[in-house]
A and B are shown apart, each in its own frame.
Chain A
Amino acid sequence: MTTTIDTTETPPAVAAVPSTRRLRRRPRTWLWLFLLPAAVPYLFVVLVPAAQGATYSFTDWNGLNPDWSWVGLDNYVRLINDDQAVRAVSNTVLLAVVVTIFENVIGLLLALALHTRIKSRNVLRVVFFAPVVILSVVVAFLWQFIFIPSGPINEVLRGMGLGDLAQNWLGDPQIALWSIAAIMIWQFSGYAMVIYLAGLQGVPQEQLEAASLDGAGPFKRFWYVVRPLLAPAITVNVMLSLIRGLMSFDQIWVTTQGGPAQSTETLSTLVYRNAFQYGELGYSAALAVVLAVFVAVLAIIQYRLLIRSGKNS
């Protein structure tokens, strides 16, 4: 993995050899003290609260009342029977899968188009990447305006004589989730592009040329020469997009707050709503645990894929 996406920052790998020699001059045992300043906030902010959260999911605590009791798996049973929660789980997965596919296809196509001799490639790289640095809140408000029924998108469609395609993009329960996916795809395709561009720099030009001399068309060349070499970049990108999709909150909270008719409710918005609007801390924690399981399973899959792609290359 480390060797495939080349960056200017990485010193030659040869340098790694001497570092196995040990510093013998001073006792090293107390070096573990160096870990403390990082370990304390990490434990306080990440590990302990996560463990507490998992514990809360087995209680009926509302966040304020000192009287609470263990309820076993009640919160999880309720989750399975709660249409809103089931809807949120399927929305979360749908959203994550759709943004992952589109961000990666678009990001890869952009990277392939810019990994050529076109003169404007540096400017275009900045253009496509720019939305990544803009606040999600700003992006979401901007698109909320673009999507209003009398807004720019519908106006363009009507102007092109495609008035039938005009929609209430964020107000129609059938479409709202896809509109939010479109916002995220616009925002993050440039991120995928940058990682693919870095990956493409590791593809030797000679291999591409040899393939084109063999008479391989652009598609074959991509599939048999570029794709295997890009495998690590693909793995990383897919995982980043999936995790971002699974945890998406900003774009949804700003544009629809989970509506209309809960058609854009995801696990993230439901966790927030239950904890801070309904005062259902125990139930909210159970939802967060489900989200954590999704992310952890994906991370483990990624880890395995990474190891496999490392063996192949």
Chain B
Amino acid sequence: MNRYTWKTGLGESGMLVVALIFLFPIYILLNVAIRPASDSGSPLVPTTEPTFGNFAAAWNQSGLGGAIANSAIITIVSVLLIVAISSLAAYPIARITAGWSSFAFYGFMIGLLLPFQLGLIPLYTTMRQMGLLGTIVPLIIIYVGLRVPFSLFLYVQFLRQIPIDYEEAAALDGASHLQTFGRVVFPLLRPVTGTVVILNGLFIWNDFLQPLLYLSGTTNRTVPVAVYSFVGEFTSQWGVIFSALIIGVIPVLIAFFFLQKSLIQGLASGVKG
């Protein structure tokens, strides 16, 4: 079972062909983005005069720079808050066996079953009454609340498998609960914190519906909304549109490149329960 036989080679060639077919849309994306507007040939044929002119046009007219900054702020602030409050809440839930602890846990887990469309409208009217429309504040609040159940679940599962000994030692040394959590427990949670950061970051960066609702028509757009409205303005100028699409994806691709391994592990472990 451990040799590379001619069958394995055949399988490998087959998979490479499958991968090429799978990458066909990506090839079209790149090819159309780098060809000049004067090239009206088939998008299947590699362009003879590759240019970055489309990228310059897209960058200058789409406001994607501001949108990337906006998305980055929203994503970073939300993820930091999610990590802080979910890990903190997971601590008593995982360590206390009293009735209220499991009651609280199931209370949070209900949130995994409720599709956010149900609360979409009431939340929107509440935010409107609070005068927060058009700013990024409601989005941060929403992402934090929305992602607490899932993140808390991951933290509780992980924490239940960590021995309590270190915490007892810290308590013997006279540390308060908060000190024990901050200095002993939270550092031990590092692996699962990585998963929480990656999964939530990806979700928040890519989310379309909420920013469409809260930010469209303002200058505070996120990347998906900026891409969406940019395409609306530049109908069928596909070279410029595709350049904008690529610019919108580049930050994620850079992150993906560096975090590829832990991202895939995180996704696989994130669905363990």
B177 within 8 Å of A (CB atoms)? yes
Q: How far is the CA of A145 from the CA of B100 in the complex (A)?
A: 54
Residues of A within 8 A of B (CB): 1-2, 5, 7-11, 13, 15-16, 18-23, 25-26, 28, 30-32, 34-35, 37-39, 41-50, 52-54, 56, 63, 110, 113-114, 116-120, 124-130, 132-138, 141-143, 145-146, 151-152, 155-156, 159, 186, 191, 194-195, 197-198, 205, 208-209, 212, 236-237, 240, 246-247, 249-250, 253-254, 267-268, 271-272, 275-276, 281, 284-285, 288-289, 291-292, 295-296, 299
Residues from chain B with a CB closer than 8 A to the CB of A120 are 12, 15-16
Residues from chain B with a CB closer than 8 A to the CB of A19 are 94-95, 160-164
Task: From B112, B206, B271, give the contact of A136 (CB < 8 A).
Answer: B206
Q: Which of B106-137 contact A (CB under 8 A)?
A: 108, 110-126
Q: Which of B11-51 contact A (CB under 8 A)?
A: 11-12, 14-16, 18-19, 22-26, 28-29, 32, 42-44
Q: How far is the CA of A30 from the CA of B176 in the complex (A)?
A: 12
B265 within 8 Å of A (CB atoms)? yes
Q: Are A25 and B19 in contact (CB under 8 A)?
A: no
Q: Are A31 and B162 in contact (CB under 8 A)?
A: no
Q: How far is the CA of A15 from the CA of B100 in the complex (A)?
A: 25
Closest residue of B by beta carbon distance from A54:
B118
Residues from chain B with a CB closer than 8 A to the CB of A142 are 25, 28-29, 242, 245
> Nearest-CB distance from B163 to chain A (Å)?
5
Q: How far is the CA of A99 from the CA of B113 in the complex (A)?
A: 20
> Nearest-CB distance from A209 to chain B (Å)?
5
Residues from chain B with a CB closer than 8 A to the CB of A125 are 264
Residues from chain A with a CB closer than 8 A to the CB of B273 are 1-2
Residues from chain A with a CB closer than 8 A to the CB of B141 are 41, 44-45
Which of B108, B113, B256: most chain A CB closer than 10 A? B113
Q: How far is the CA of A156 from the CA of B125 in the complex (A)?
A: 49
Q: How far is the CA of A191 from the CA of B266 in the complex (A)?
A: 12
Q: Are A5 and B245 in contact (CB under 8 A)?
A: no
Q: Are B208 and A247 in contact (CB under 8 A)?
A: no
B84 within 8 Å of A (CB atoms)? yes
Which of A37, A146, A151: most chain B CB closer than 10 A? A37
Residues from chain A with a CB closer than 8 A to the CB of B269 are 5, 7, 9-10, 198
Residues from chain A with a CB closer than 8 A to the CB of B217 are none
Residues from chain A with a CB closer than 8 A to the CB of B168 are 21, 23, 25
Q: Which of B249-263 contact A (CB under 8 A)?
A: 249, 252-253, 256, 260, 263
Closest residue of B by beta carbon distance from A53:
B118
Residues from chain B with a CB closer than 8 A to the CB of A9 are 158, 191-192, 195, 265, 269
Which 8 A-B pairs rank lowest in CB-CB distance, beginning with the nearest? Answer: A45-B145, A49-B119, A198-B268, A52-B122, A38-B89, A41-B145, A118-B12, A7-B269
Residues from chain A with a CB closer than 8 A to the CB of B80 are none
Q: Are B249 and A18 in contact (CB under 8 A)?
A: no
Residues from chain A with a CB closer than 8 A to the CB of B268 are 5, 7, 194-195, 197-198
28 A-B pairs within 8 Å (CB atoms) are namely A2-B157, A7-B268, A19-B94, A21-B168, A26-B177, A31-B96, A37-B89, A41-B85, A41-B148, A45-B146, A46-B148, A47-B110, A48-B122, A49-B120, A56-B121, A117-B3, A120-B12, A120-B16, A124-B15, A125-B264, A127-B19, A133-B256, A142-B29, A195-B268, A212-B1, A246-B115, A292-B118, A296-B114
Q: Are A52 and B171 in contact (CB under 8 A)?
A: no
Q: Are B265 and A146 in contact (CB under 8 A)?
A: no
Residues from chain A with a CB closer than 8 A to the CB of B197 are none
Q: How far is the CA of A205 from the CA of B111 in the complex (A)?
A: 39
Number of A-B contacts (CB under 8 A): 306
Residues from chain A with a CB closer than 8 A to the CB of B22 are 127-128, 186
Q: Are B117 and A141 in contact (CB under 8 A)?
A: no
Q: Are B89 and A35 in contact (CB under 8 A)?
A: yes
> Nearest-CB distance from B102 to chain A (Å)?
12
Q: Are A15 and B162 in contact (CB under 8 A)?
A: yes
Residue-wise interface mask of B (137-159) relative to A, using a CB-CB cutoff of 8 A (1 in contact, 0 not): 00001101110110010000110
Which of A38, A124, A247: most chain B CB closer than 10 A? A38
- 19 A-B pairs besides A198-B268, A285-B121 with CB distance below 8 A are A5-B268, A9-B158, A13-B161, A15-B163, A37-B88, A46-B148, A117-B2, A117-B8, A127-B23, A128-B19, A135-B252, A141-B227, A141-B241, A208-B1, A246-B115, A250-B208, A275-B120, A275-B121, A292-B118
B233 within 8 Å of A (CB atoms)? no
Q: Are B224 and A291 in contact (CB under 8 A)?
A: no
Residue-wise interface mask of B (79-94) relative to A, using a CB-CB cutoff of 8 A (1 in contact, 0 not): 0000011101101111
Q: How far is the CA of A250 from the CA of B85 in the complex (A)?
A: 29
Q: How far is the CA of A94 from the CA of B93 in the complex (A)?
A: 39
Q: Are B272 and A49 in contact (CB under 8 A)?
A: no
Residue-wise interface mask of B (161-191) relative to A, using a CB-CB cutoff of 8 A (1 in contact, 0 not): 1111101100110001100010000000001
